[in-house]
């Protein structure tokens, strides 16, 4: 595979929120996990665990948790899309990969005790790289996926009997796509690229950020 082919895969990936009922072949699941296994991680710590949830009762339990979160969000935000948002695709997808991380591995970093922010990157950054690998692998296999974070992690952890101090981080919902979303806009490379020093003229305004916060579903990544 050359660089153009790799970029094509990256550009073709979408967040899928509608799935068919077709089961996912086990060999596809194995390849997705293999992609996650080979993700880079700080000090090769590999601080991740993946819980593959296919059981209907457990998936319903996860979805019940999601509905509670959505109701909480509605008390804090007035996004237009929340009027009809129910996140049914979490229940619709035949596979929920519940992504967990072991925060004890923050201590593996040679920056342990030097800078707490870098220590945290060992945990969050490494797990995120594994999720990205799995997402791209799913796309290559003709599957669709979406990263879902609208959950109460501790409640999901209790449901799935996740022991302390392991943390539930997010869910990668996976299945065969029943939609083909159009690509969303991306910032021009020059808008976020700096040479030698940060160019303050490229910093997006507080007003732009606040507008995006009011309704992120309408966020257009324009220069601001």
pLDDT band at 221 (very low <50, low <70, confident <90, very high): very low
pLDDT at 176 over 90: yes
pLDDT given for residue 218 in this prediction: 64
Q: What is the pLDDT of residue 120?
A: 83
pLDDT at residue 224, as a whole number: 37
Q: Does the pLDDT of residue 152 top 80, yes or no?
A: yes
Give the tens place of pLDDT for each residue, 15-37.
999 999 999 999 999 999 999 99
Over residues 125-132, the mean pLDDT reads 96
- Give the global pTM: 0.92
Say which DSSP state 30 is in. H
Judge contact between 98 and 156, C-beta under 8 A.
yes
Calpha distance 205→191 (Å, rounded): 13
pLDDT at position 217? 66
Question: pLDDT value at position 212?
Answer: 82
Name the percent of the chain lying above pLDDT 90. Answer: 73
Q: Cis (ω within 30 of 0) for the bond into 39?
A: no
pLDDT of res. 85: 85
CATH for the stretch 13-183: 3.40.109.10
Tokens for 48? 């991740």
Domain positions in the chain are: 13-183, 185-224
Q: For the residues 2-22, what does the mean pLDDT come to?
A: 94
3-state secondary structure of 65: helix
Residues 53-109: pLDDT tens digits?
A: 999 999 999 999 999 999 998 898 887 777 788 999 999 999 999 999 999 998 888
pLDDT at 203: 96
Structure confidence at residue 78 (pLDDT): 80
């Amino acid at each position: 595979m050359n660089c153009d082919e790799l970029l094509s895969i990256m550009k073709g990936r979408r967040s899928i929120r509608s799935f068919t009922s077709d089961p996912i072949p086990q060999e596809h699941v194995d390849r997705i996990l293999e992609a996650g296994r080979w993700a880079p991680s700080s000090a090769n710590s590999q601080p991740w665990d993946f819980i593959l949830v296919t059981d209907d009762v457990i998936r319903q339990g996860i979805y019940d948790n999601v509905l509670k979160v959505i109701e909480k969000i509605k008390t804090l935000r007035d996004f237009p899309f929340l009027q009809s948002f129910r996140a049914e695709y979490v229940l619709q997808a035949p596979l929920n990969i519940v992504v967990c991380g072991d925060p004890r591995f923050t201590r593996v970093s040679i920056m342990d005790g030097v800078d707490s922010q870098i220590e945290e990157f060992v945990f969050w950054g490494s797990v995120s790289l594994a999720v990205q690998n799995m997402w791209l692998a799913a796309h290559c296999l003709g599957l669709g996926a979406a990263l879902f974070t609208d959950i109460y992690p501790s409640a999901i952890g209790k449901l799935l009997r996740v022991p302390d101090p392991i943390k539930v981080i997010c869910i990668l919902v996976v299945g065969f796509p029943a939609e083909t979303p159009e690509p969303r806009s991306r910032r021009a490379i020059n808008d976020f690229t700096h040479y030698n020093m940060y160019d303050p003229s490229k910093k997006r305004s507080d007003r732009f950020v606040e507008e995006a916060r009011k309704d992120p579903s309408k966020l257009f990544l324009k220069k601001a």
